Chains A and B, each alone.
Chain A
Amino acid sequence: MVERIEDLNLPNAVITRLIKDALPDGASVSKEARASIARAASVFAIFVTSTSTALAHKQNHKTITAKDILETLSKLDFESFIPSLSQDLEAYRKMVKDKKESKASKKDANMPSNAEDATTIKATNNESANE
């Protein structure tokens, strides 16, 4: 479990960067505001997790699924996150699949050329996804 409360803090540098990316050039953030956003982010992660867990339990599932998270976001009135998050999820699933495939092809033929095979598979996958 969590030993120290600081273990729940998110790294300052990353938070600063995310905020800077969201604001127009030349805008700055006070230290206090940044600390509050960081704290709010931790709370948000816990909030989403516990709401999703409750949702999963209600459907007699023990573990949270991606679907639970998306449903939770709409339930909590953060629908605006769903399009980008769904896209990210798609990209993530593809990446995992590609990894698996490249591993499988490595097992298939233990030759130096198999790495090349993996990249070609990846490339064709990328193309089909882009269409």
Chain B
Amino acid sequence: MSDPKAKRDPSTETFLPLSRVRTIMKSSLDTGLITNEVLFMVTKCTELFVQHLAREAYKSYCSPSKQSASGGSSSDTLKYEHLSRLVNKSKNLEFLLQIVPDKIRVHEFQEMLRLNRNAVSGDEDDDDDDEDDDDEDDDESGSSSEAAE
């Protein structure tokens, strides 16, 4: 798998449009002058990143040999879930956790909300002695934490 990378000839051609990459770089705060050389490099490494992401996700979760092990569908189509799984697993892709989040079903989300609420109210029960006015629990905890800060 590292073969194509090693074989790859160095090239001064970029596939991605430099002007667009410059715009993207400028959108980052505080970016000073962008030299052509740096623009070239960021464009190149973004291209490498695209290929790395696709290759790794495909290799780990999608290639036909892995299908039987993971019990997935037998197509060799790279899907969103392959990407989100890779992002979840890889330390150096942590910055994408918010960009490529795990997809969950509505009822799973509702379950999470419910558990979350229970956990929160459970905490409050431990912290606060006044269990009689349950309705105002949320408001009170909000204001009290604000006051604490």
Complex: how many Å from CA A46 to CA B16? 15
Interface SS of chain B: helix, strand, loop or mixed? Answer: helix
Q: Which residues of B contact A22 (CB under 8 A)?
A: 4, 50-52, 54-55, 58
CA distance A44 to B63 in the complex (A): 25
Asked if A40 lies at the interface with its beta carbon under 8 angstroms from chain B, I say yes
A118 at the interface (CB under 8 A from B): no
Which residues B81-123 have CB closer than 8 A to chain A?
82-84, 91-92, 95-96, 99-100
The answer to the question of A42 belonging to the interface, with a C-beta cut-off of 8 Å to chain B, is yes
Which stretch, A31-39, A100-108, A120-128, touches the partner chain B?
A: A31-39
Residues of B within 8 A of A (CB): 2, 4-6, 8, 10-12, 15-17, 20-21, 23-38, 40-42, 44-55, 57-58, 62-63, 76-80, 82-84, 91-92, 95-96, 99-100
In the complex, besides A2-B26, A29-B77, 16 extra interface pairs with C-beta distance below 8 angstroms are A10-B17, A10-B46, A11-B20, A22-B58, A23-B78, A24-B76, A30-B79, A38-B50, A45-B42, A49-B28, A53-B30, A65-B35, A69-B41, A81-B52, A84-B10, A92-B12
